Amino acid sequence: MLIRKTGRAARPTVATYRDDPLYPRIERAVARILANGKVVAPVDVLVGMGLLAPEKLEDWRRGRVHYLEAVIKSFAEYERPRHMTAARRVASAEQKAALRALPAAPR
């Protein structure tokens, strides 16, 4: 894990994101999502990691939960914003890779 001198976790960079302790869990969740479709949403990664119950996601979507962060599990273990940031980064990278793999549109 990357640690700053202040004792807080360092922000992952393009060069170090694979060193993040959440990376293997995120990678597995994204792979499962891509096996079933072409779109990876950060909330789907959180559900795939087991950090967000599908029922809680639906409650948030319907406005019964004001903040998604309020229903993400394991707050004590990790920082909630880190989950969202890491999930967004991986989802974005995986989507770009999937799009590059698609055949070019005929002209």
Residue 38 lies in a domain: yes
For residue 96, count other CB atoms closer than 10 A to its CB.
10
Residue 2 lies in a domain: no
- Please give the model's pTM, rounded to 2 decimal places: 0.60
Residue 60 lies in a domain: yes
Per-residue pLDDT tens over the stretch 41-55: 999 999 999 889 999
In a 3-state reduction of DSSP, which class is residue 94?
Answer: helix
**Separation of alpha carbons 100 and 61, rounded Å:** 31
Total structural domains within the chain = 1
Instruction: Tell me the CA distances in angstroms from 71 to 29, 51, 67, 68, 87, one per residue in order.
Output: 19, 9, 8, 6, 16
Which candidate, 44, 38, 42, 45, places its Cα nearest to that of 100? Answer: 38
> For position 76, what pLDDT does the model report?
42
Residue 70 has which token pair?
Answer: 């309020």
What residues make up the domain containing 26? 17-99
